[in-house]
Copies of this chain bind each other. A is one copy, B any other.
């Protein structure tokens, strides 16, 4: 894919929603933002990591907040560019490329909107290879790239620039401000040079999201299983299939936290903080963060976000191995189950990511 047009958004958003492991916000709202921006400013050139010059200034643009809030409070559409401009003012140079910080529903689409508005190309990849709830949970943290200066902008016109002593501190301070700014802001942070992209990004995740979303749609049209089609693209395993019998969530500290229980051949319990982080089958752990726990509507193959989990929904849960860098000691310290307060070690899923 050489450019992102309105025609690919549906499939890409669907696939990104699946890779978003329940988080990253509702893809639908992100899609509306991206579509509007492309219609107004034209298609967005998509470059592979190899095509980005070493001295490029690559800026991830994303949304921060609780996805539950996004459902009720639509963005103004001006936040992405406001955050980008605030960051550029502080670093003293203009962005040359935009990139997603994560591949997840709304956060795969917001960078498209930002790139269209700023008239910049987008890099095909992201800094997580999935979605994670906190700003420091990116591969650049593992290679010593700071996520500050971090610029935040809200729908009212307020902006904020954080300069922190660590990527964790930036997350903590920005999250508190974000909560006060309405729990939904745009961020520009974790600036990278082109030469850092190979170590700082998981490559080609936007085209992966597109292929995944297209495979699901095509399977549905062909009356074959969209879940199997997704598995074929992703290379993971089916963990469980069943019906949601309980879902409990609360929006606290700027996050949507909670758990859901599925009933089928036994019981599966999913624990989440914006994203699905832990899956227990009949009490035994079957998958943990940083591996991907993806929940799909069994019939349609559509991604089910954590805030979309509701009683009676029939879903299939897939486990997909994470990027191998997340399995390093540093990666697990940053985004393993213990960081999130779960009293268990990482249980690596078998197999490799496609």
Contact = CB atoms under 8 A, between A and B. Distances in A.
A299 to B, nearest CB: 43
Contacts of A179: 176
User: Which 6 pairs from chain A and chain B are nearest by CB?
Assistant: A176-B180, A157-B165, A161-B161, A158-B164, A176-B176, A159-B163
Contact of A176 (B163, B165, B177): B177
27 contacts: A86-B163, A90-B161, A156-B165, A156-B169, A157-B164, A157-B165, A158-B163, A158-B164, A158-B165, A158-B173, A159-B162, A159-B163, A159-B164, A160-B162, A160-B163, A160-B177, A161-B161, A161-B163, A172-B180, A173-B177, A173-B180, A175-B180, A176-B176, A176-B177, A176-B179, A177-B177, A177-B180
A181 interface: yes
Contacts of A90: 90, 161
Interface string A126-163: 00000000000000000000000000000011111111
A162 B154 CA distance: 12
Interface in A89-139: 90
Interface in A153-198: 156-165, 169-170, 172-173, 175-177, 179-181
Interface in A55-104: 86, 90
Max chain B C-beta neighbours (<10 A), residue from A90, A165, A180 = A180
Contacts of A86: 163
A160 B181 CA distance: 15
